[in-house]
Amino acid sequence: MFVNIHSHSHQNEGIYILNSLDFSDKNYYFSLGIHPAESQNLNFNADIFEKQTTHLNCIAIGECGLDKNISIPLEQQIALFKKQIDISEKMQLPVIIHCVRAWNEILEIKKELKRKQPWIYHGFRKSNLTESILKSGCYISIGTAIIQDQKLQQSIQHIPLEKLFLETDNDTTYSIQEVYESVARLKNISIDELQTQILKNFELVFKKVKLHGTL
Ligand SMILES: [Zn+2]
């Protein structure tokens, strides 16, 4: 079984967490979040948001976070991010983090808020930050970049399987199966072993799935 922790579309068999506002597809899980790029002129209504997260297939908050490549002031992004973190705690849902050049800020927020829900950095590529992220107790999700990115291929050796997730995000060139194949090869384990461990991580982190049964 392939688990795709963050995707914008479903390609083949497996467990998918779609980054989607389309609740109509009963066959897939989804995560609910406001991307920092969407934070401008947004009238965020925490009550409505919270209510939407009660949908049975909504098993995570996100992607949300901070992005220094966009022109929206960081303060504004932080305020929205923190609101979503609060809801994640209240609703007991893990968070899928979007982070661009704001690693320190997010690590600081993590320390400051002392939240208990698991945080997963999605689309991770910053090899030099592996250690500090793992130290903070967060999970790391690796995407299709692993197929080409040599630095990332090296740093995956330092990510314990128990802290790892895999995803395709909005890349449709490669499938989740190809991401698994690449990681299994680099970690020198079988696809079976990798699938078993990632599924274990999934069940551990996404508690709502266990509570309501798998789709
Ligand atoms: Zn995405």
Report the separation in Å between the CA atom of 8 and the middle of ligand 1, taken as the mean of its atom positions. Answer: 6
Q: How wide is the angle at C-alpha 143 spanned by C-alphas 142 and 145, nearest 5°? A: 110
Tell me the pLDDT tens digit for each residue of 6-20.
Answer: 998 877 678 999 987
pLDDT attached to residue 112: 93
Report the separation in Å between the CA atom of 172 and the middle of ligand 1, taken as the mean of its atom positions. Answer: 12
**Average pLDDT in the 186-203 region?**
97
**Average pLDDT in the 152-170 region?**
96
pLDDT attached to residue 127: 86
Higher-confidence residue: 149 or 11?
149
Give the tokens for residue 204.
């551990």
pLDDT attached to residue 210: 82
* pTM score: 0.94
Tell me the pLDDT tens digit for each residue of 46-71.
Answer: 999 999 999 989 999 999 999 999 99
Report the separation in Å between the CA atom of 214 and the middle of ligand 1, taken as the mean of its atom positions. Answer: 23
pLDDT attached to residue 23: 66
pLDDT attached to residue 153: 96
pLDDT attached to residue 66: 97
3-state class percentages of the chain: helix first, strand second, coil last, to nearest 5: 45, 20, 35
Does residue 41 surpass a pLDDT of 90?
Answer: no
Provide the percentage of residues in the chain whose pLDDT is more than 70.
96
Q: Which residues neighbour ligand 1 (ion) by CB within 5 Å?
A: 19, 169
The phi and psi torsions of 15 (rounded to 5 degrees) equal -95, 125
pLDDT band of 131, cuts 50, 70, 90: very high
Does residue 143 surpass a pLDDT of 70?
Answer: yes
**For residue 7, which of 182, 167, 145, 201 has the smallest C-alpha distance?**
167
Report the separation in Å between the CA atom of 62 and the middle of ligand 1, taken as the mean of its atom positions. Answer: 9
Beta bridge partners of 61: 32, 95
Distance CA 120, CA 43 (A): 26
pLDDT attached to residue 21: 65
Higher-confidence residue: 174 or 127?
174
Tell me the HSE value of 12 on the side-chain side, using a 13 A CA sphere. 10
Cis peptide bond N-terminal to 63, omega within 30? yes
